[in-house]
A and B are shown apart, each in its own frame.
Chain A
Amino acid sequence: MIKFENVSKAYEENNVVKNLSFEIKKGELCVLIGPSGCGKSTTLKMINRLVEPTEGAITIEGKNVRDFKPEILRRRIGYVIQNIGLFPHLSVKENISVVPKLLKWDKDKIDKRVSELMHLMGMQESLFLKKHPSELSGGQAQRIGVARALAADPDIVLMDEPFGALDPITKSGLQNEILRLQRKVQKTIVFVTHDIDEAVKLADRIAVMNEGKLVAYDKPEAILNNKENEFIKKFVGFDRALKKLTRLYVEDFIKPYKSVKTADLSEFAKRRIESEIFVWVLDDNGELKGWLNNDDSIDFAENIENLVVTGIENLQISPGCSLRDALSVMMSENVVTLPVVDNRKLIGEIRLADIVGNEKNI
């Protein structure tokens, strides 16, 4: 969809981007990553002609970007930047409708689109539309920034370190939001960041840049597995294995479980299942209550209900969590198995051995 052919950019004697050639496929989220000054932002800005390349050509669906008038090209490409760049003198609604207005949409169409986008971003119209950017939190403002970029329904969205200035919690929330949105709208997104965790979490494909050159362009798993290239090895860091876990989800590693209902406990005490070292205990509604150690040395004879270990809310993990989260919970709670809970129902368990032993599957 977006193709770079031998693209270079020089400011006077200073080569910022050197002979870049790669192609971003339609519907993919491509992350450009590298240290400060590696030319990733410049590369992004050459797509919507905020920066003109000195050499080479950039084509979108086969058409050279130079054949478009810059303003016309930019109205067809969404653009989100760090620090948001919302217009402080316009309301949320006016901010979102900037590009549709430039494209001369009629009022009804704009109104309809604005409410559609607010709904998509999970923001209440009555609460936000009339507010000004200064009245929004950082996370809310960046949501509006994203909504504004999507306003005219562009095929391509460019994001230049959009979450760089946000706190970690808001940042992670917005990253999840982007993943959810991307599943829905399937845009071609070019995303610039210097945060490798963010890249690994979001990208379909990562372009690693250093000193103006493309070092590697591959799937995140492959980038994390790359042990030959010194730069990538250093950039990814020693915790590359942990980083891989962010792209794997608990739901794919769920194992069947053994459980017993509270009402059946006394029955269970009589006929132990020898093979299990513990069983989950459910209440009458099927909700997780705790677990029961099934060690031979424990005598189930007296008051078995007091032996159930309860208060294990911290252990529960949802199927959408990453393996990295699961591993973290295991370490902090000092256990090797976690119950996977969806909508308050126990649906399975995940074991440390599966997380550690899965390396070959990646």
Chain B
Amino acid sequence: MRKIYKLKIFYPLLMFIAVIFVLTLGFYFYGNREGAQEFLYPRSDALALTIEHLYMVTVSAGFSVVAGVFAGVLVTRKFWSDLLPAVNSIASVGQTFPPVAVLALAVPVVGFGFKPTIIALILYGFFPIVRNTIAGIESVPKEVKESAKGMGMTGIQILAKVELPLASKIILAGVRTSVIINIGTATIGATIGAGGLGAPIISGLINENFYYVLQGSLCVGLLAVVADKAIEDIGRLLFE
């Protein structure tokens, strides 16, 4: 077992915990002074906001990973290969679609709060995963697949024992991109009442409170770094 401080996540996580700790302490010591007003949201501490934020990102990332890998696997099967170019283009175009627009479209259907935000995040995080799943599976050398088939593996066995293991590094890179994008994107959920670390940013912008914006952004930025390093560590533990 490697030493825990050798993990890349160690220092960013330490920093993140320190910041959240200071902000939460500050909130309870000074936050309820007279004159502290509520703008848009009920005020809450940084720890609660982080938990909300993480909740949105993990739920949406979970769905994106399952759906993205499934879709990527499906279109690389011979039977569905007609769909491959279409899915590839949609995945590219989908990246350019502004998440605010997804929110605007989702709100009339599912209402305000967590739900539309999570839908937007799922959609947004889905595309890098599909693309990388396709790229990963297509990167498996032809002769490796042929020898797997020639040795008597069934289609499912080739997928599970050869294609997915060989594509897993590239798929994980897609997951990494997807999660990091979504940690940032989740902040705009605050505009439709989803809370999370976007809340202080949005209220800070509205009442021109620079410190609110700074606190929110700092937490989101650090959280993104922590997630990035966490996934990198997972990859290294899996593949080395």
**In the complex, how many angstroms separate the beta carbon of B145 from the nearest chain A beta carbon?**
8
Residue contact A82 to B143, C-beta cutoff 8 Å: yes
Instruction: Render A86-105 as a binary contact track against B, CB cut-off 8 A, 1 for contact.
Output: 11110000000011001000
Question: Could you say which of B144, B152, B153 has the most chain A C-beta atoms within 10 Å of its C-beta?
Answer: B152
Majority-rule SS of A interface residues: mixed
A100 to chain B, nearest CB (A): 11
Residues of A within 8 A of B144 (CB): 85-88
A48 touches B150 (CB 8 A): yes
A interface, how many residues as a size bin? 20 to 34
List chain A residues, Cβ under 8 A from B208: none
In the bound complex, what is the Cα–Cα distance between A228 and B151 (angstroms)? 41
- Are the C-beta atoms of A50 and B150 separated by less than 8 Å? yes
Interface size, B (range): 10 to 19
Classify the interface of chain B: helix, strand, loop or mixed. helix
Once the chains bind, are B151 and A102 in contact (CB under 8 Å)? yes
Chain A residues closer than 8 Å to B152, beta-carbon distance: 70-76, 99, 102
Q: Which residues of chain B have C-beta atoms less than 8 A from A82's C-beta?
A: 143
Let me know if B153 and A87 touch, CB within 8 A.
no
> A87-B144, A102-B157 given as contacts; is B150 within 8 A of A81 (CB)?
yes
- On whether A87 and B150 interact (CB within 8 A), knowing A81-B143, A82-B143, A102-B157, the answer reads no
Query: Taking the complex as formed, is A84 at the interface, i.e. its CB lies under 8 A from any CB of chain B?
Result: yes
Nearest chain B residue, comparing its CB with the CB of A48: B150
Is B154 an interface residue when CB atoms closer than 8 A count as contact?
Answer: yes
A-B contact pairs, 16 of them (CB 8 A): A50-B149, A50-B150, A74-B150, A74-B152, A75-B151, A81-B146, A82-B143, A84-B147, A85-B141, A85-B143, A87-B147, A87-B162, A88-B166, A98-B151, A102-B151, A102-B153
Given contacts A75-B151, A81-B146, A83-B143, 11 further A-B contacts (CB under 8 A): A70-B152, A71-B152, A71-B154, A79-B147, A85-B141, A86-B144, A88-B166, A89-B162, A89-B166, A99-B152, A102-B157
